[in-house]
């Protein structure tokens, strides 16, 4: 029996990249996976990108799971409500929620100071990559409360609280980490665990094209950027999510941010090619400085705030 056989998952933002890798690896582990996004056959939603949610669902099927493609704009509450109502009607529950909605590549500009950048683009980035996560969790988490064990995974970039080089981007990615923490505090008396997860240098479809390589010869991309040699395929973060979902003690990780490479060492999974890339170790070697993560000590100041101390029974219902 596969480790996630019989489990019901929703991967919000499953069209390509990390989301597709996560959906397909949940399928490989036996799960039924609702694959959502805006790009469907004949109606691309992201410029010239060809990937669709139907393709993702078909890969889930090919891996041994069951893929269900549903077109959803996760910024529209009525569409999110309809999606969750469908999952409740068809499955009776939800076990795994992965929020991987992004859509900010064309909005992010590294280099210029924040006062020289477009506030409208920054607002749009927040709406696409933070509000959508919160809105989806708002309607999906109630489907998880009656189950044996639920898991909410917030996909971010980076497993530290360090600055990410662009103010809007930094606020978005740290907001997602904080969202996982905040949800974990409100879910602490339930059977649902919320946490955040980052991939490393991700070889998404677009990244491979930018480097002029394929997954078969990706190492050739190191000639363009030597750091590319430490990159990982979307399978890696997908297997990280599958390992977390299969772990009966995942609740011990509630509220924190983790990385694909650290979880690979903990759970023993590999990337698609059998390797175990470790961005943290590579960074330390390449830059001669320690790679710092948001470990248990880093989260100390986030816990036992005035609200929790003054009203330990919140939320009330």
Residues serving a catalytic function are 169
SS3 string, the chain, reads CCCCCCCEEEEECCCCHHHHHHHHHHHHCCCEEEEEECCECCECCCCCCCCCHHHHHHHHHHCCCEEEEEECCCCCHHHHHHHHHHHHHHHCCCCEEEECCCCCHHHCCCCCCHHHCCHHHHHHHHHHHHHHHHHHHHHHHHHCCCCCCEEEEEECCCCCCCCCCCHHHHHHHHHHHHHHHHHHHHCCCCCEEEEEEECCCECCHHHHHHHCCCCCCHHHHHHCCHHHHHCECHHHHHHHHHHHHHCCCHHHHCCCEEEHHHHHHHHCCCCCCCCCCCHHHHHHHHHCCCCCCCCCCCCHHHCCCHHHHHCCCCCCC
């Amino acid at each position: 029996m596969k480790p996630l056989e019989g489990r019901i998952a929703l991967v919000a933002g499953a069209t390509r990249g990390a989301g597709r890798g996560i959906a397909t690896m949940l399928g490989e582990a036996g799960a039924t996976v609702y694959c959502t996004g805006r790009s469907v056959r004949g109606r691309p939603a992201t410029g010239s990108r060809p990937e669709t949610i139907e393709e993702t669902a078909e890969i889930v099927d090919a891996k041994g799971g069951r893929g269900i493609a549903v077109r959803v704009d996760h910024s529209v509450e009525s569409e999110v409500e309809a999606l969750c109502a469908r999952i409740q009607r068809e499955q009776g529950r939800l076990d795994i929620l992965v929020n991987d909605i992004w859509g900010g590549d064309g909005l992010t500009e590294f280099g210029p100071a924040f006062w020289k950048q477009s506030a409208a683009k920054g607002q749009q980035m927040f709406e696409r990559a933070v509000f959508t996560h919160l809105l989806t969790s708002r309607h999906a988490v109630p489907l998880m409360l009656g189950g044996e064990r639920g898991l909410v995974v917030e996909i971010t970039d980076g497993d530290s609280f360090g600055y990410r080089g662009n103010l809007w981007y930094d606020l978005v990615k740290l907001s997602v980490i904080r969202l996982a923490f905040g949800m974990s505090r409100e879910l602490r008396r339930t059977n649902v665990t919320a946490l955040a997860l980052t991939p490393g240098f991700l070889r998404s479809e677009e990244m491979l094209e930018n480097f002029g390589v394929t997954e078969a010869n990706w190492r050739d991309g190191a000639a363009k950027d030597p750091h590319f040699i430490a990159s990982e395929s979307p399978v890696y973060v997908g297997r990280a999510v599958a390992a977390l979902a299969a772990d009966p003690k995942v609740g011990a990780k509630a509220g924190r941010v983790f990385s694909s490479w650290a979880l690979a060492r903990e759970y023993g999974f590999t990337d698609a090619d059998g390797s175990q890339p470790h961005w943290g170790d590579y960074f330390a070697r390449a830059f001669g400085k320690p790679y710092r993560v948001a470990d248990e000590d880093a989260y100390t100041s986030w816990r036992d705030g005035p609200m929790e101390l003054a009203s330990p029974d919140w939320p009330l219902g």
